[in-house]
Chains A and B, each alone.
Chain A
């Protein structure tokens, strides 16, 4: 082997090593995130008592001794997410069916980029829109001061629309045309074939879109924090016009000035949020695998 080819081989080898190291970056990042969040969050949770932390209804960081119970925030996240699903999912699925099965081509080429644009609007802009438009609207038409679970639900419902539409549309399009044609050949109308045959066939993909939407809603921070009122009080479902605080809002509101035990409690809040979101994402990938199988 000549000198030149040896040198080239070395270069090949060096490049391959560089690429492998780069590919490890994602692993290292996830490792660091887990280690640092759990290492700082779990011991704090342990000291406070995991059960007391998760089921405590008082969040009083300034009391002596302070109390750190995040049940109001867990429930708050639950409410706004459920609300977002209530608003976003039916609209999103119907819109997805429209895009996949009812949309005339000339309209489609306009709508598709429009939905992508919707996905691109920054959450702080959504939050700002919520503050100046939705909050007064809810205050005047439904009562309360407008900063509420209800308002946050509407806003989140809007924000998860592009996720639901895009993924559901893809799932519906992935259903082989023979299935639709089979139904049509039996005399079913276009609507009946679409809703009774194609949509059920796309069930797992549509479910995946809903789950990803839930993940987005649970993890959304800025927009929720700007319209939800943020009181760390355990709310009952009928109090949907009152304010509530989510797990995300809890971190974003207090992290800036928290020290010691208080900061640890916020990191622990982050850990709970992280675990929730990971469970949701795991469900999503299971459903996606099921869809492709």
Chain B
């Protein structure tokens, strides 16, 4: 199978006011694969993932140079940011369901993009919840508040919510850091299943998680991409000393 690249990141520099958070990043993110970003806190991995759907636009004083191409189109060019975020969905560190019913949480996205038909919405809600492997637990309580779910269920709900607008890409920013090991396992299983339909980029603090689920891994330090390659390779024979130190637990 030929590998096509979903994202091409070229010479990206990013500043928060005077602080440079990303330094000359170049990397390609292949389609239908899971790419993991690892590195110690403050290394820029979260910043980079947030530039992939321009969530950094919301941060005051954020400035970016270089280009990020999604399917060949520069997302920092003259594009509709809302349409971009529909194509590039995001799951956050802490589960963040809206304070409304489970059904309305999932229907919010499609409604945002103009779908009004009750029939279509019902279908989307069911399919999204099924794809996120949480349909069985929620089908009898769709009208209940999403806040009544457990932490792990909430996170799968948020994944379902991200899937509801039929994105191509799923960005996951430490999606399991707030969860217990059992819920973490379920999410990882889910991520592996989603791989065939979506391009997934995941930021993680957890080395094992990166080895378990990702195809490629990038190691970041102080805003720079230090090493990037196949996950197997990175974890067995890291080229860079700092990368080796990090994955063997000597710092971080």
The main secondary structure of chain A at its interface with chain B is helix
Residues 1-49 (chain A) with a chain B CB within 8 angstroms: 1, 4-5, 8
Which residues in B have their C-beta under 8 angstroms from that of A1? 80
Alpha-carbon gap, A8 to B81, bound state (A):
12
Asked whether B77 is an interface residue with its Cβ less than 8 Å from the other chain, the reply is no
Across the interface, do B114 and A4 meet the contact criterion of CB distance under 8 Å? yes
**Closest Cβ–Cβ distance, residue B76 to chain A (whole Å):** 16
**Closest Cβ–Cβ distance, residue A134 to chain B (whole Å):** 50
Residues of A at the B interface (CB closer than 8 Å) are 1, 4-5, 8
Alpha-carbon gap, A155 to B112, bound state (A):
57
Alpha-carbon gap, A5 to B80, bound state (A):
8
**Closest Cβ–Cβ distance, residue B75 to chain A (whole Å):** 14
Asked whether B82 is an interface residue with its Cβ less than 8 Å from the other chain, the reply is yes
Asked whether B55 is an interface residue with its Cβ less than 8 Å from the other chain, the reply is no
**Closest Cβ–Cβ distance, residue A152 to chain B (whole Å):** 50
User: What are 6 A-B pairs at a CB distance below 8 A?
Assistant: A1-B80, A4-B114, A5-B80, A5-B82, A5-B83, A8-B82
Residues of B within 8 A of A (CB-CB), count: 4
**Closest Cβ–Cβ distance, residue B58 to chain A (whole Å):** 15
Please list the 6 inter-chain residue pairs (A to B) with the smallest Cβ-Cβ separation, ordered nearest first: A5-B80, A1-B80, A4-B114, A5-B83, A5-B82, A8-B82
Residues 58-98 (chain B) with a chain A CB within 8 angstroms: 80, 82-83
Residue of A nearest to B80 (CB): A5
Alpha-carbon gap, A4 to B116, bound state (A):
14
**Closest Cβ–Cβ distance, residue B54 to chain A (whole Å):** 15
Alpha-carbon gap, A5 to B114, bound state (A):
10
Alpha-carbon gap, A49 to B101, bound state (A):
69
**Closest Cβ–Cβ distance, residue A9 to chain B (whole Å):** 8
**Closest Cβ–Cβ distance, residue A11 to chain B (whole Å):** 12
Alpha-carbon gap, A72 to B83, bound state (A):
70
Residue of B nearest to A12 (CB): B82
**Closest Cβ–Cβ distance, residue B121 to chain A (whole Å):** 18
Alpha-carbon gap, A5 to B83, bound state (A):
9
Which residues in A have their C-beta under 8 angstroms from that of B82? 5, 8
**Closest Cβ–Cβ distance, residue A7 to chain B (whole Å):** 10
Alpha-carbon gap, A1 to B80, bound state (A):
7
Alpha-carbon gap, A1 to B77, bound state (A):
13
Which residues in A have their C-beta under 8 angstroms from that of B80? 1, 5
**Closest Cβ–Cβ distance, residue B113 to chain A (whole Å):** 9
Alpha-carbon gap, A136 to B180, bound state (A):
71
Alpha-carbon gap, A1 to B81, bound state (A):
11
Which residues in B have their C-beta under 8 angstroms from that of A5? 80, 82-83
Residues 156-196 (chain B) with a chain A CB within 8 angstroms: none
Alpha-carbon gap, A8 to B113, bound state (A):
10
Alpha-carbon gap, A208 to B82, bound state (A):
47
Which residues in A have their C-beta under 8 angstroms from that of B114? 4
Alpha-carbon gap, A46 to B83, bound state (A):
64
Alpha-carbon gap, A8 to B114, bound state (A):
10
Alpha-carbon gap, A4 to B114, bound state (A):
9
Residue of B nearest to A1 (CB): B80
Residue of A nearest to B79 (CB): A1
**Closest Cβ–Cβ distance, residue B61 to chain A (whole Å):** 20
**Closest Cβ–Cβ distance, residue B143 to chain A (whole Å):** 29
**Closest Cβ–Cβ distance, residue A138 to chain B (whole Å):** 56
